[in-house]
């Protein structure tokens, strides 16, 4: 649900909601969390009987939590497990990139596991389109999580969707070497 403490939708949260909604509505892949439904003009019932305007998305349930939690518990993964999750991550990223989007905040906390331990890429608040039609545009907004940012983002330079591949490489390293 997207509303601030006063029940107001700030512009930043609205933009995040619409970016995520735009991507999730277009990408259909087993390694990308699925959009089930959404409402841009919902009313959240408060305890006092009033209603607060909000927007929400219903997403696929990934009941086994974050990949991060398993890494914290085990320290690192065996080679076969790390390779399997990396392959699933790259497959999901390929689907996202082929639709013209970049995630821009890949990290183990944003990789969820469903009931079968299938990896699901999640949290599309920083996702954005880098391609409109046949025209690709470099991105310039620095966003994401510091330990996973590509050098060009850290240097304040324009960048492409390849920043997601850099983050995926960091994730691969962590799955082998540990947190």
pLDDT of residue 8: 64
pLDDT tens-place string over residues 49-108: 999 888 999 999 999 999 999 999 999 999 999 999 999 999 999 999 999 999 999 999
Q: How many CB atoms are closer than 10 A to CB 77?
A: 19
In 3D space, the residue among 14, 57, 54, 34 whose CA is nearest the CA of residue 122 turns out to be: 34
Catalytically active residues are 105
Q: Please report which helix (H) or strand (E) contains residue 42, including its range.
A: strand 35-45
In 3D space, the residue among 156, 171, 1, 154 whose CA is nearest the CA of residue 85 turns out to be: 171
Q: Which superfamily does 67-177 belong to?
A: Transferase(Phosphotransferase) domain 1 (1.10.510.10)
Confidence of residue 12 (pLDDT cuts 50, 70, 90): confident
In the predicted model, what is the mean pLDDT of residues 37-54?
92
Contact 37, 57 (CB under 8 A): yes
3-class state of residue 178 by DSSP = coil
Domain range list for the chain: 11-59, 67-177
Residue 36: pLDDT over 90: yes
> Is this prediction's pTM over 0.75?
yes
């Amino acid at each position: 649900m997207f509303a601030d403490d006063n029940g107001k939708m700030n512009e930043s949260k609205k933009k995040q909601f619409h970016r995520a909604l735009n991507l999730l509505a277009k990408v259909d892949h087993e390694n990308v969390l699925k959009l089930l439904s959404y409402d841009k003009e919902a009313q959240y019932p408060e305890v006092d009987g009033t209603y607060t305007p909000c927007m929400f998305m219903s997403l696929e349930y990934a009941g086994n939590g974050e990949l991060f939690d398993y890494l914290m518990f085990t320290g690192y993964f065996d080679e076969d497990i790390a390779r399997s999750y990396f392959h699933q991550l790259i497959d999901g990223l390929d689907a996202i990139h082929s639709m013209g989007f970049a995630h821009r905040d890949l990290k183990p906390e944003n990789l969820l596991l469903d009931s079968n331990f299938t990896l699901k890429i999640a949290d599309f608040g920083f996702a954005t389109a880098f391609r409109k039609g046949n025209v690709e545009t470099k991105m310039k907004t620095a966003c994401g999580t510091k330990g996973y940012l590509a050098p060009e983002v850290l240097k304040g330079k324009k960048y492409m969707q390849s920043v997601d591949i850099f983050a995926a490489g960091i994730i691969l390293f962590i799955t082998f070497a540990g947190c």
